[in-house]
Amino acid sequence: MGGLAKGLAIIEAFDLRHPQLTVSGAAAATGISPAAARRCLLTLEELGYLSYDGKYFRPTPRMMRLSASYANTSSLPALAQPCLVAVRDELDESASLAVLEDGHALFIARAEATRIVSAGVRVGARLPAYASSTGRVMLASLPPQELEDYLRTCHPRPTTANTPTTIAEIRARIQSAHDEEFAVTEEELEPGVLTVAVPVRDNLGRVHAAMSVSTSTARASLDVVREKFLPVIRREAARLGRML
């Protein structure tokens, strides 16, 4: 079972910033020895989950089976899809649903706007909670001690000039998300991308997920995001919450 744990850690090491890994890169990302990383990578290649060109390992389409196991057994993505489609069709922008998982916003459903170049992420992607609008509205719902535990272990890394890099900045933005019941980001993870997110609450007030809309700074301003986008995702997040 230790080998399984290492293999799963290798799988999780692939993300938007690491679409391909060498043996040494996989070992560094997971904290396991290069020899163990190599065995895991070669086993995953043999099983068809990775391809290998002699230097880099890359995920294959078979990897989709792993995420499909969750998508096909959880009601949340299925319930959310009509709500996300309604947001997309009304705003002509991509809408997403994310859950909080291990300090990250994990995207589990999405309605993609049809564009040559689209802003945002894909289903299965993870973003650091401290720098994403979805992450902040979910962090804002945590009990105080859980939030403090998260902040104590948070190690922010800038990816743009707007990324918050101190715990004081992150705490202030989470508090703002708590007070206003929404969060916005402007080019904090990726240049040219604006997002707004709201919590999805059930009838008991418990936060299950966050719904967001992403757009480009070339198409909208922060004022437009707040005034036009926010009411739409609040309406659809409330509709989804009533179904939970």
β-strand partners of 107 = 98
In the numeric block, which tokens belong to residue 25?
A: 């890169």
Report the alpha-carbon distance of residue 150 to residue 143 in Å, rounded.
Answer: 11
CB 188 within 8 A of CB 133: no
Strand partners, 201: 207
Provide the token pair at 14. 């692939």
Q: What is the pLDDT of residue 125?
A: 85
Domains along the chain?
2-60 (1.10.10.10), 74-243 (3.30.450.40)
Average pLDDT across each block of 10 residues of the chain; the chain has 244 residues. List them in order.
Answer: 88 84 93 93 93 93 76 77 96 94 92 66 86 96 95 91 93 96 93 94 93 92 92 96 90
pLDDT at 116: 47
In sequence order, what are the beta bridge partners of 213? 95, 196
Q: Helices H, strands E: what count in the chain?
A: 10, 8
Q: Find out whether 132 and 97 touch, Cβ atoms under 8 Å.
A: no
Ramachandran region, residue 230 (left: φ > 0; alpha: ψ -120 to 50; beta: rest):
alpha
Q: What is the pTM of this model?
A: 0.74
Contact, 111 vs 84, CB < 8 A?
A: yes
Residues pairing with 109 in the sheet? 97
Q: What pLDDT was estimated at residue 123?
A: 83
- In the prediction, which pLDDT does 46 show? 92
Helix, strand, or coil here: 188?
coil
131 contacts 162 by C-beta, under 8 angstroms: no
Which two three-digit tokens encode residue 231? 């009411």
**The pLDDT of residue 126:** 87
**Residues pairing with 183 in the sheet:** 197
With beta carbons less than 8 A apart as the criterion, state whether 40 and 72 touch: no
Query: For residues 159 and 167, what is the distance between their CA atoms, to the nearest angstrom?
Result: 16
CA distance 104 to 196: 16
Q: What angle do CA 77, 104, 82 make, to 5 degrees?
A: 20
